[in-house]
Amino acid sequence: MEIKVLTLFPEMFKGPLDVSIIKNAQEKGLLTIEYINIRDFSNSKHKKVDDYPYGGGAGMVMTPQPIFDCYEKTLEKFKDSIKPRTIYCTPKGKVFNQQIALELSKEKHLVFICGHYEGVDQRVIDELVTDEISIGDYVLTGGELPVAVIIDAISRLIPGVLGQDESYQEESFYSGLLEYPHYTRPENFRGLTVPSVLLSGNHKEIANWRNQKAMEVTNKRRPDLIARMKNKKRDENNILL
Ligand code: ADE
């Protein structure tokens, strides 16, 4: 997958997406992420990228010119002449979930436009954006962190990114339940012991125990997920809709 991120702050991505699994995915050539600085495309003498909102009000709005020019230049970089899914992160968007992550992980090309300050001029959204996405009901200072979250969630679903023993098909939101607790060595840590069933070698009992724990935690923290699971509507990948 080829991802282009249009942002005023490329440095915000350097840490989180350059380590561990996402770094390996890039090294294996399964994923490329390019950060393009919107400011470089500003036509103004002082590389201005924002202005006061028409109609008044607090904060600054990102002007359309640098974003449109940056976007058009970015599209030229894709080998196929396609209109890629173009994502803008905003609290007004559709709330991100595993289903959307899986759908986006199947795209060959993705473009993310990061808003900052009060966001971008509406004409950017109307003309360039295909998907407006929120990562939850709270307000951040810009779209960079939500974009990093979304890229992380999508990248790990690209075939080959996770090892066979890390398969996402085992985990929360795939089964529809929250995950059971995990334990590793040592068996006894400061007097705190691992549940004996996990040491029994009895796979059926272990599976039952894990299922029971998953039900308990989901009932307690996310009863809405149990209700959804009972309706048993799943997509072709067995993910709950
Ligand atoms: N930008 C600011 N807050 C956001 C949020 N919660 N989700 C997506 N983008 C945002």
Which residue type sits at 218? T
Q: In terms of domains, do 219 and 113 share one?
A: no
CB of 7 closer than 6 A to ligand 1?
A: no
Is 23 a member of any domain? yes
Given a cut of 70, is residue 73 above it in pLDDT? yes
Domain boundary among 131, 155, 179: 155
Q: Is 115 annotated as a binding residue?
A: yes
Q: In terms of domains, do 150 and 59 share one?
A: yes
Q: In terms of domains, do 183 and 125 share one?
A: no
Given a cut of 80, is residue 239 above it in pLDDT? no
Give me the mean pLDDT over the 98-108 stretch. Answer: 97
Give me the mean pLDDT over the 199-209 stretch. Answer: 98
Picking from 44, 33, 43, 45, the residue whose alpha carbon sits closest to that of residue 7 is 33
Given a cut of 80, is residue 105 above it in pLDDT? yes
pLDDT of residue 79: 80
pTM of the model: 0.92
Q: Is 135 annotated as a binding residue?
A: yes
Picking from 17, 2, 133, the residue whose alpha carbon sits closest to that of residue 76 is 2
Half-sphere exposure for 89 (CA within 13 Å, toward CB): 28
pLDDT digits (tens, 9 = 90+) for 142-188: 999 999 999 999 999 999 999 876 667 667 676 789 999 999 999 99
| Total number of domains in the chain | 2
Contact 155, 25 (CB under 8 A): yes
Q: Is 149 annotated as a binding residue?
A: no
Residue 213 sits in which domain range? Answer: 171-231
DSSP H helix total and E strand total for the chain:
7, 9
Q: In terms of domains, do 33 and 145 share one?
A: yes
CB of 89 closer than 6 A to ligand 1?
A: yes
Q: In terms of domains, do 122 and 180 share one?
A: no
pLDDT digits (tens, 9 = 90+) for 111-147: 999 999 899 999 999 999 999 999 999 999 999 999 9
Is 164 a member of any domain? no
Given a cut of 80, is residue 35 above it in pLDDT? yes
ipTM of the complex: 0.97
pLDDT of residue 175: 77
Q: In terms of domains, do 92 and 198 share one?
A: no
CB of 75 closer than 6 A to ligand 1?
A: no
